Structure 1
Amino acid sequence: MGVESKDAAEVDAADILGSAIERREDPALLTGDAEYTDDIQLPRMCHVAIKRSRHAHAAIEGIDTSAAEEMDGVVDVFTAEDLDVPGKLPVGWLLDTLKQVDHPILASERVRYQGDALAVVVAEERYLAHDAVGRIEVDYDILDAVTDPADALADDAPALHDDAAGNVAFDWEIGDREATDAAFEDADHVVGLDLENQLLIPNAMEPRAAVAEYNPSENELAVHMTTQNPHLHRLLMSGVIDHPEHKLRVRAPDVGGGFGSKIHHYADEALVAIAAKRVERPVKWQATRTETYLTDAQGRGHQTHAEIAVDDDGTIQGLRVDTKANLGAYLSTFAPSVPTYLYGTLLSGQYDIPTIHCAVEGAFTNVPPVDAYRGAGRPEASFVVERLVTLAARELGEDPAEFRRQNFVREFPHETPVAVVYDSGDYEKPLDRALEMLDYEEFRERQAEAREEGRYLGVGFSAYIEACGLAPSELAGQLGAQAGLWESSLVRFHPSGTVTAYVGTSGHGQGHQTTFAQIVANELGIDYDDVEVVEGDTDEIPQGMGTYGSRSAAVGGSALVKSSEKLVEKSREIAAHQLEVASEDVEFERGEFSVTGAPDRSIHIQAVAQQSYLAHDLPEGMEPGLEATSFYDPENFVFPFGVHAAVVEVDPASGEIDFERYVAVDDVGNQINPKIVEGQIHGGVAQGVGQALYEGAEYESNGQLLTGSMQDYTVPKAVQIPSMETDSTVTPSPVNPLGVKGVGEAGTIAAPQAVVNAVCDALEPFDVDHIDMPLKAETVWRATSETTVATDGGEE
């Protein structure tokens, strides 16, 4: 059921938008021609290594760097005492109750997680730098640590920050508490659930890295780094290292995956920039995989009690959610937004729920800072809603698919009780298609027969929704964002008629070079191969807000549409002048301007481009050249949705889970490139299945990471990911010119609860109604070991 790729040359220009043309990025990535940060080699380049804390919580009694400084080939060693810059990382999202605490780029008095940076070594060779780090001696006074958010909020917990009493980072709520409590009092049934959404460690193909080069005579600093948002990193870093923003270049070479973990401003990249200025030589830092496990911002980390109120007729009346969110040792860049406005606002799911109340308490703990990871708040919300809906259907004895259908939102736009307005939707279509693909009635018959044989099959549904392209900027500001959420583009015709499109997003595997070229080629009516796309470099792009939150197509793509439209209108004026008619008498189709009623009198837009640069015969007062810039600020989020369904077989004797089917039907609005959409769904589902069955950061009581390598932290292999059967429906978004919605995080949002619901459905005869992720074999076996079930389905 997969989408077949096409060569761009095989696609008619009129059909370029919506065609599954092959990704133009792939040849370089597959042949080794791509340039990653660690591929950059500069003359006289040094290497950086960072001394990190062995302990999760300790006072620093002293740091002795003398042995490292004496080593041959060591160029520089510095600690916090040597810094003459602000050296503190900022928070990019504020809340009314937020407790802002200092986040130093080098710890000087106390370390608060294993991996906290203490000192920097600059050496002639990479391995020499690491050897020198091993010579640095640190005198610690070890303190008690806490890694669990509920434990951190307890009265007897060790205190992490003087400015955050009780380790409370914030206390936040959304919805109407009184109305929700009243709905629960009046409801016929209340179903509750305690669950944990475990901490996850990002596992991009390429660990974080940075190369910095400094020109002292011009005070110009360039940092090449693994970033998802170069302009934001430039802005934040300029303040951290006290370097003029206009003299700082941030560039993203090819980036081997991000999944949110390369949005944030870490200490390490700032330290590399400082090192380059200190030694006045290029310097490189490449994180090891062990470093990324210790220091990359982790995701999720929720402990939640949730309840759903339903009536006898199956109507949902209310939802009540209380969450303790793990924020880690410090506030990362966008950390406050993830368990609040990206979580609480999605708790209505696809359902018409009259009342909702959500309370979230953020906790400082002795783990790395926790921030956005693929989905960022939306997977956590969808997991809560879809587990509760499944349990409510079981409580009422209703079919889980039909219970969902009964409570779907049916009229759009739809305002939820938690502050968002869904732009468009048709939620029954993906459900119907998923049931058809599953042959659902036949499955239920097979399930009953299998239970008679002592085999346990289960199906789990996930009717998910996602919010993409956070907007408009005014609203984002009201919610606490310290940046606008618009996007910019510059589209430039060259005299020959080819085009370069500059856009402020920064792709790292999503296929922007392909899809953005499709958009521009379609808007201008020119060949796809005549369009080049440039992003990811602050010296090339006017401004930009980067790539995260499935925003690139909806916001960045729309900015390209707006700039292209401006080019068409200027070109229309030139064409009308040259054709000696009024501009309103000129039609534009597939790149050709023609006179209304006289199609033989025409001129192509690429010929107009040439004339614009010749400037021999332009309308009076018109400037030469043909380019346009746009800053596009959407009027609303977009809300993709869909239904995923997992079919599994569970062996209670061993706890082993085998996939029989995985069906995904997604609605992401209009699709620019269906093959890329399919690939994004596949990748997202793989990560969602990874969370459901395998992944989770685990810590000792003293804060030591137990899952510090791929030997201990299970990233699923290809053979552990189910084959996926994908399909789609199309409900265009009315809030952007492309009608697109976003797809990059859909699979990650949808998959975990589909898998957990399927396993719990299989184990219904054992009275298993919930198992916390990851559903490892031992965990499943323990859940079933207390109950034995006869082959006829009755308990023994």
Structure 2
Amino acid sequence: MGATDFAKLPHIGEAVRRKEDYRFLTGAGQYTDDVNLAHQAQAVFVRSPHAHARVKSVDVRKAEAMPGVLKVYTGKDIEGKMNGLPCGWLITSTDGTPMKEPPHPVLAQGKVRYVGDHVAMVVAETLQQARDAAEAVEVDYDVLDAVVAVGDAKQGPALHDIAPDNHCYKWAIGDKAAVDAAFAKAAHVTRLDLVNNRLIPNAMEPRAAIGSYNRATDEYTLYVANQNPHVERLLMTAFVLGLPEHKVRVIAPDVGGGFGSKIFLYAEDVALTWAARQLNRSIKWTADRAEAFLSDAHGRDHVSHAEMAMDKDGKFLALRVHTDANLGAYLSTFSTAVPTILYATLLAGQYTTPQIYVEVDAWFTNTAPVDAYRGAGRPEATYLLERLVSRCGWELGLGQDEIRRRNFITQFPYQTPVALQYDVGDYPAAMDKAQKLADVAGYAARVKTSEAKGLKRGIGYSSYIEACGIAPSNIAGALGARAGLFECGEIRVHPTGSVTVFTGSHSHGQGHETTFAQVVAARLGIPVENVDVVHGDTGRVPFGMGTYGSRSISVGGAAIMKALDKIETKAKKIAAHLMEASDADIEFSGGEFKVKGTDKKIPFGQVALTAYVPHNYPLDKLEPGLNETAFYDPTNFTFPAGTYICEVEVDPATGAVRVDRFTAVDDFGTIINPMIVEGQVHGGLVQGIGQALLENCVYDRQTGQLLTGSFMDYAMPRADDFPNFQLDTICTPCTHNPLGTKGCGEAGAIGSPPAVINAVLDALRPLGVKEFDMPASPARVWNAIQSAK
């Protein structure tokens, strides 16, 4: 079945209400902290108060003597008994040497390298007892100088012996000589320096885990708030603990938001699993919000210089970029891929720039590890490119829309100069629809209205593209991935004709239990409520690579479609036998099997029952049952794209910025459930605009202390910070997956930050303001206005 035919099926494109919402809204959801096991102990981690220090000694005697304390584990207890946490993506430097990959101990050994680093784990009967004992652990530190900013890393104190200059790798992509030649003949060059500010993910549910061990079967179970339980198990067993994989079960129950920060294997997960066997007790840990601020992997944190060479008409000739990426104190699971493979390869954007050269230097600093956060490299690329493109237009006297239209890709497939090949798209159509929906024609009148109130109005454009699916495995492997990037789907048809779907994807707010059910119901012609979806349990799902990179429907859904193909093929043979026809003459649609050219037909339910009650069955040709599994490894990324238009009002007297209008037009290919897509876009826009105007992770540059360690200091967006979003879509179906889908989960967070900042700068241009970095807080904007006077 092709993508076009699939999109015409019943249930596809319908705003079916989410099946999972009833349990969430009635308090019946089960998050990790809701799980309580028999004879369960509690864990608390002792964390470093210093950004950089030698650990001279850890005295646990007083703590272990306290009531209820079972054990206090330190780095010495685990030394030689497990490996450190692995990095999942190997980057090779431009000189051919591998990246510097220092040990990442589960509990500190010899040194701590950021505030919040793990020093010890206290296990006690109750949480309060564990907390009291943690305060009694005495650690003697030799405090060292810290380095926080990437600009200071090279001259700063060395974090790791393997990297005396704190440099992890230098990576590049593109033809440098060709780019330099294009710049030499350019009529105009636009230059831009910018910072992509560090963010702290804040999901509704903090990280949590329960490690359990069964001595009778020698089996471990880890309950964990995680986006990809199979990968968690693989990394923990094969790379850290050396356990047989089949002896470890990882269960990720209902997870209240992830946004990338719950993809990774964290030290707490390993420590709890290992200690559960040592004590023969289940051990539970749940982060409090202050702990999450310190220890969850952070996002973004790039410092970049970009240059665009153009001819006299504003056509792009070449792009040259250098980025310094802050990786934090250790290499988190996917950290090395974010500023390279997931960033530089997207810097072509929607434009026909013939030559691009990107160079990335990655650095260690005394800050929390930095890894994938909603968009993972794609927001960083889009922010740089779309800020630069708008500046190109301003410098040439062209509108933000006109500079983009002159350079849009219009012929597909299109091979970019930075590795990716786009299969399909229609960028002018998205721009057209966005401008109409945003009422750009009425903008001049709105400017006058704002001026009458003493406010400055600005308009900002962003035409983003992202790569979703994170595949194919062979290409990813050649680029450094240490795992496959396929997905698995199993379709289990029951005798009554109802269906259970087992998927390796994981839902933590995306609505998979509904959209995947719609896909299956559409193919089999059964009600959506007759389809259940199971995910998040390595003991029930064959295998899977989890959810990130907006890959669930395009990769996980495609695996389900392949399994459905097998179901249909077998079911046709059963139906042919029942109707005494050739299976080549059987057609299947609307839940019925029909013999071509006749009025013979039987329903899907009858075939399902026959498969399990095979009294009249071709046993010489077919096995009983109707249960199929398929794996899908994409041949290419998918490429969602769109144009966003933002209008802001700025108060020059205070620097306050208000988003007055925001329009988003996206191309997600085939849309399964428009209501869920709209919700995903809303959430992404809020996160992206939050970065642009409010959120900013700040460390003290001298001490390495986290200055924004709570919601008192880290400004999260609220509902009243936003207008009603104007949303619409266009559709150019993906050409290489059977659903035609592209992914929607990250788009809003990718396209919105540059649209907002371009709008703010457009408003302030008459005042002489040309630049400032996110977030556009009142103080930053006011200072920029004063500096321009």
TM-score, length of structure 2 as denominator length: 0.97
TM-aligned CA deviation for residue 445 of structure 1: 4.3
Amino acid at match of 1:734: T
Q: Secondary structure at the match of 2:23?
A: helix
Distance between the aligned counterparts of 2:88 and 2:224, measured in 1?
Answer: 20
Structure 2 counterparts to residues 461-472 of structure 1, below 5 A = 461-472=461-472
Residues 580/271 of structure 1: CA separation in 2 closer, same or farther (3 Å cut): same
Amino acid at match of 2:272: V
Q: Secondary structure at the match of 2:301?
A: strand
Amino acid at match of 1:608: V
Instruction: Answer yes or no: is 1:644 the counterpart of 2:644.
Output: yes
1:29 alignment counterpart: 24
Preserved contact between residue 13 and residue 522 of structure 1 (Cα < 8 Å):
no
Amino acid at match of 1:23: R
Distance between the aligned counterparts of 1:204 and 1:336, measured in 2?
Answer: 23
Distance between the aligned counterparts of 1:786 and 1:628, measured in 2?
Answer: 66
Preserved contact between residue 454 and residue 651 of structure 2 (Cα < 8 Å):
no
Distance between the aligned counterparts of 1:378 and 1:644, measured in 2?
Answer: 15
Instruction: Answer yes or no: is 1:333 the counterpart of 2:328.
Output: no
1:166 alignment counterpart: 165
Preserved contact between residue 438 and residue 726 of structure 2 (Cα < 8 Å):
no
Preserved contact between residue 489 and residue 559 of structure 2 (Cα < 8 Å):
yes
Structure 2 counterparts to residues 11-26 of structure 1, below 5 A = 14-26=9-21
Q: For 1:465-500, what per-residue CA distance to the aligned partner results, in whole angstroms no more than 9, with x for missing partners?
A: 010001111111011101111100110111111110
- Extract unaligned runs of 5+ from structure 1: 1-11, 789-796
Preserved contact between residue 650 and residue 760 of structure 2 (Cα < 8 Å):
yes
Distance between the aligned counterparts of 2:771 and 2:623, measured in 1?
Answer: 67
Distance between the aligned counterparts of 2:484 and 2:143, measured in 1?
Answer: 42
TM-aligned CA deviation for residue 448 of structure 1: 5.6
Q: Secondary structure at the match of 2:514?
A: helix
2:85 alignment counterpart: 89
Preserved contact between residue 466 and residue 746 of structure 1 (Cα < 8 Å):
yes
1:221 alignment counterpart: 220
1:727 alignment counterpart: 728
Q: For 1:741-763, what per-residue CA distance to the aligned partner results, in whole angstroms no more than 9, with x for missing partners?
A: 00000000011001000000001
Preserved contact between residue 523 and residue 565 of structure 1 (Cα < 8 Å):
no
1:80 alignment counterpart: 75
Q: For 1:7-62, what per-residue CA distance to the aligned partner results, in whole angstroms no more than 9, with x for missing partners?
A: xxxxx995211101101111111111000111111221100001110100000110
The partner residue of 2:55 within 38, 41, 60 is 60
Amino acid at match of 1:100: E
Preserved contact between residue 199 and residue 691 of structure 2 (Cα < 8 Å):
yes
Preserved contact between residue 13 and residue 525 of structure 1 (Cα < 8 Å):
no
1:776 alignment counterpart: 777
TM-aligned CA deviation for residue 183 of structure 1: 0.9
Distance between the aligned counterparts of 1:139 and 1:454, measured in 2?
Answer: 58
Aligned length: 774
Larger deviation, residues 456-465 vs 761-770: 761-770
Structure 2 counterparts to residues 77-226 of structure 1, below 5 A = 77-83=72-78, 85-97=81-93, 98-153=99-154, 156-226=155-225
TM-aligned CA deviation for residue 722 of structure 1: 3.0
1:4 alignment counterpart: none
Distance between the aligned counterparts of 1:17 and 1:486, measured in 2?
Answer: 24
Q: For 1:379-413, what per-residue CA distance to the aligned partner results, in whole angstroms no more than 9, with x for missing partners?
A: 00000110010000001101111111111000111
TM-aligned CA deviation for residue 429 of structure 1: 1.1
Distance between the aligned counterparts of 1:268 and 1:158, measured in 2?
Answer: 27
1:610 alignment counterpart: 609
Preserved contact between residue 100 and residue 331 of structure 1 (Cα < 8 Å):
yes
Q: Secondary structure at the match of 1:763?
A: helix
Amino acid at match of 1:560: I
TM-aligned CA deviation for residue 653 of structure 1: 1.2
Distance between the aligned counterparts of 1:452 and 1:713, measured in 2?
Answer: 34
Preserved contact between residue 486 and residue 545 of structure 1 (Cα < 8 Å):
yes
Distance between the aligned counterparts of 1:127 and 1:760, measured in 2?
Answer: 51
TM-aligned CA deviation for residue 768 of structure 1: 1.5
Preserved contact between residue 85 and residue 240 of structure 1 (Cα < 8 Å):
no
Distance between the aligned counterparts of 1:70 and 1:455, measured in 2?
Answer: 65
Residues 449/123 of structure 1: CA separation in 2 closer, same or farther (3 Å cut): closer
Q: For 1:119-138, what per-residue CA distance to the aligned partner results, in whole angstroms no more than 9, with x for missing partners?
A: 11111111211111000010
Distance between the aligned counterparts of 1:528 and 1:786, measured in 2?
Answer: 60
2:518 alignment counterpart: 518
Preserved contact between residue 342 and residue 376 of structure 1 (Cα < 8 Å):
yes
1:763 alignment counterpart: 764
Preserved contact between residue 230 and residue 543 of structure 2 (Cα < 8 Å):
yes
TM-aligned CA deviation for residue 772 of structure 1: 0.1
Distance between the aligned counterparts of 1:630 and 1:242, measured in 2?
Answer: 29
TM-aligned CA deviation for residue 618 of structure 1: 2.1
Preserved contact between residue 13 and residue 527 of structure 1 (Cα < 8 Å):
no
Amino acid at match of 1:220: E
Q: Percent identity?
A: 51
Q: Secondary structure at the match of 2:131?
A: helix
Amino acid at match of 1:224: Y
Preserved contact between residue 692 and residue 755 of structure 1 (Cα < 8 Å):
yes
1:40 alignment counterpart: 35
Distance between the aligned counterparts of 1:31 and 1:614, measured in 2?
Answer: 39
1:633 alignment counterpart: 633
Preserved contact between residue 13 and residue 526 of structure 1 (Cα < 8 Å):
no
TM-aligned CA deviation for residue 598 of structure 1: 1.0
Preserved contact between residue 338 and residue 371 of structure 2 (Cα < 8 Å):
yes
TM-aligned CA deviation for residue 243 of structure 1: 2.3
1:570 alignment counterpart: 570
Preserved contact between residue 214 and residue 277 of structure 1 (Cα < 8 Å):
yes
Distance between the aligned counterparts of 1:13 and 1:459, measured in 2?
Answer: 38
1:407 alignment counterpart: 407
The partner residue of 1:71 within 66, 70, 80 is 66
Distance between the aligned counterparts of 2:200 and 2:86, measured in 1?
Answer: 22
1:703 alignment counterpart: 704
Distance between the aligned counterparts of 2:500 and 2:603, measured in 1?
Answer: 18
Structure 2 counterparts to residues 104-503 of structure 1, below 5 A = 104-153=105-154, 156-238=155-237, 239-447=239-447, 450-451=450-451, 454-503=454-503
Distance between the aligned counterparts of 1:767 and 1:417, measured in 2?
Answer: 36
Q: Secondary structure at the match of 1:166?
A: coil
Instruction: Answer yes or no: is 1:745 the counterpart of 2:746.
Output: yes
Q: Secondary structure at the match of 2:639?
A: coil
Preserved contact between residue 656 and residue 778 of structure 2 (Cα < 8 Å):
yes
TM-aligned CA deviation for residue 455 of structure 1: 3.0
1:51 alignment counterpart: 46
Distance between the aligned counterparts of 2:787 and 2:284, measured in 1?
Answer: 56
2:684 alignment counterpart: 684
Amino acid at match of 2:41: C
Preserved contact between residue 640 and residue 742 of structure 1 (Cα < 8 Å):
yes
TM-aligned CA deviation for residue 718 of structure 1: 1.2
Q: Secondary structure at the match of 1:204?
A: coil
Preserved contact between residue 42 and residue 283 of structure 2 (Cα < 8 Å):
yes
2:4 alignment counterpart: none
1:5 alignment counterpart: none
CA RMSD of aligned residues (A): 1.3
Distance between the aligned counterparts of 2:190 and 2:21, measured in 1?
Answer: 49
TM-aligned CA deviation for residue 361 of structure 1: 0.2
Q: Secondary structure at the match of 1:335?
A: coil
Amino acid at match of 2:665: V
Amino acid at match of 2:435: L
Residues 602/356 of structure 1: CA separation in 2 closer, same or farther (3 Å cut): same
Amino acid at match of 1:46: A
TM-aligned CA deviation for residue 767 of structure 1: 2.0
